[in-house]
Every structure is written in C-alpha cells, then in structure tokens.
Amino acid sequence: MKKSELNAEMKSENPETQMVAIHKTAMVHPESRLGHGVVVGPYSIIEKNVTIGDNCQIGNFCVIQGNTTIGKDCQFFTGAVIGSTPQDKKFDGNGQVYLFIGDANIFREYVTVNPGTPEGGGKTTIGNDNLLMAYSHVAHDCVIGNHCIMANNATLAGHVTLEDMAVVGGLTAVHQFVRLGRLSIVGGCSKVVQDIPPFSMCDGHPAKVYSLNSVGLKRAKIPSEKIKILRKAFKILFHSGLSKTHALEQIEKEIPSCPEIEHLLFFTKTSKRGLCS
C-alpha cells in the first residue's frame, strides 16, 4: 500500500514532519528504530530489536522481528515474515543471531527470511537492490550479494551463497552450502545440489550446466571480447572431457587472463561441493 493511500488511516510519530507513518492497527514496539519516511501498513508487527532505514515501506500483515537491521528504500509486501527464528532443530534460542539487509531490496508477498545460527557464524546477510518474489525463502546463514533475483517459490537452504546478479528460477530448491556464482542463472523447477559456476546457464533435476549466460553477460555490459574468452573457457571446463584439475590448467595456459576468467578459476578451485556437470 502506497503512502498516499494510507494517509487517512495513519498516525504519525511526528505530525509536523511526517517522519514515520504507522497505521492505527499496526503494532510497533516503542524500542524499535524507524528511519525518516518509513510507512507501516495495516496489521503489521515490528518487534523490539528491529532497525529500519529511511523511506522503507512495510505492507499489510508483515512481521519483522529478531535482531534485524534493514537499510533504506526497501519494500515489504503483504505477509512478508522477516527475521523469524531459524528453522534449525539445533537452535535452542540461546545466543545472539542477526539478519542484515541492505538498501533498495524488494520482498514480495509472503517471503520469509531467517537470521543466522551460532554454529553458522550468527548472521544472514542480504546486499542491495535484490528482488525476492512471492513465497521465496532464505534460510539461516545465507549470504546474498547485490542485484540478485529469486523468482516465485525459490528456496535457499542454510549456508547458501548467491553472488552478485545471480538469478534463481521459480520453484527451484538450492541445497545447503551450495554457491551460485556471479551472473549465473538457474532455470525454474531445478534441483541444485552442487555449485553453479559464475556466468553459467543451468537447469535440470539435478541442475546441469547448459551454456554460458550470454544474455545476462550482455545485459551486464560485459564486453563481447570477454564473452568470447569465457565461452572458450567453458568449452574447456565442461566439454573437453578433461578432469577439472587438468581443465583448469589448460585454461590458465591457453586463455588470456581477465577479471572474469580469474573469478571463474577461483570459484572452481574453492568449490567444496563440486561444480554442476
């Protein structure tokens, strides 16, 4: 609900400056911290240890709880539940766990996001300018970079990492401890049990690498020369029949170095769950 639509139903923390507009049915803990221009819609709940940055809009029936810190210009649509207890049977409620959310993120209807766990480092982190579509879920100890998209019903298990500009298709499930590389895209209804290489297009059950994410690279304004180099590296890594170790050695010998190639090599070498085939 937009601020203009709520004016008749809202009460302001400061009538002269309209610093914060809270609907009369919303419940906002007096010790929570709300920035300038925050709007809280009907029947939403903001609990004690929550900090919300300037110009955020909290829709109807949202719940924001726990040790949650949110940046500026974020939007939360109907029914979003942010900062609720991790869905981890080992978590007994003891220990400080946190959720950090950056700026300009959009959380559509009924999105759920959990904080970290003590065993996993204690925090879940979401960067800037991400879009989490309806019913998507981010579990404990996840790290989401910037400009990522999770389509409807996409789910991340615990300890998952999404690098910048990764895209997760609708109804896709990502296994614990899996990483999705920068500018990768995973098709809808996929089962992701191994790391998704940067710059790749993957799909399937389980997910497999099908090609370079050429469209995503062009949209990200990666020069055509670098796209050609990455395509050659992908052929060696996934279609040469070489083991990953020998393929990496061949790439290092034959492919000109650039930041994108270096990132692909580093990501592959540091994979703990192995790359999608």
Does 54 participate in catalysis according to the annotation?
Answer: no
pLDDT confidence of residue 9: 56
User: Of the listed 53, 102, 158, 216, which one is catalytic?
Assistant: 158
Q: How confident is the model at residue 8 (pLDDT cuts 50, 70, 90)?
A: very low
103, 141, 164, 203: the catalytic one is 141
On whether the CB atoms of residues 162 and 168 are closer than 8 A, the answer is yes
- At residue 124, what are phi and psi to the nearest 5 degrees? -110, 135
The CATH homologous superfamily to which domain 222-269 belongs is Udp N-acetylglucosamine O-acyltransferase, C-terminal domain (1.20.1180.10)
Does residue 140 carry a catalytic annotation? yes
6 pLDDT tier (thresholds 50, 70, 90): very low
Look at residue 94 in the predicted model and tell me its pLDDT: 85
Known catalytic membership, residue 205: no
Task: Give the percent of the chain with pLDDT over 90.
Answer: 92
CATH classification number, 3-162, choose in 3.40.50.150, 2.160.10.10, 1.20.1280.290, 3.40.50.2300: 2.160.10.10
Across the chain, mean pLDDT equals 94
Residues facing 99 on adjacent strands: 68, 124
Segment 97-109 mean pLDDT: 98
Mean pLDDT for the stretch of residues 166-182: 98
pLDDT in tens, 58-69: 999 999 999 999
Query: pLDDT tens digits, residue range 22-53?
Result: 999 999 999 999 999 999 999 999 999 999 99
The catalytic position among 137, 140, 147, 159 is 140
CB 128 within 8 A of CB 145: no
Q: pLDDT tens digit string along 121-137?
A: 999 999 999 999 999 99
Share of the chain above pLDDT 70, in %: 94
Q: Does residue 163 surpass a pLDDT of 50?
A: yes
- Length of the chain counted residue by residue: 277
Burial class (CB in 10 A: 0-12, 13-18, 19+), 266: exposed
- In this prediction, residue 277 carries a pLDDT of 87
pLDDT at 1: 47
Residue ranges covered by each domain of the chain: 3-162, 222-269
88 contact partners, CB below 8 Å, separation of at least 6: 117, 140, 158
pLDDT tens-digit series, residues 184-240: 999 999 999 999 999 999 999 999 999 999 999 999 999 999 999 999 999 999 999
**Coil, strand or helix: which one is 151?**
coil
pTM for this prediction = 0.93
Instruction: Give 195's DSSP letter.
Output: B
Q: Are 118 and 97 in contact (CB under 8 A)?
A: yes
Sheet containing 179-180: give its strands across: 33-34, 51-52, 67-70, 98-101, 123-126, 143-144, 161-162, 179-180
Exposure letters 90-124 (e unless 16+ CB within 10 A, then b):
ebeeeeebbbbbbbbbbbbbbbbbbbbbbebebbb
How many CB atoms are located within 10 Å of the residue 262 CB? 11
Question: How far apart are the C-alpha atoms of 136 and 134, rounded to whole Å?
Answer: 6
Write down the pLDDT at residue 16. 37
Neighbours of 239 (CB within 10 A): 10
Residue 11 binned pLDDT confidence (cut-offs 50, 70, 90): low
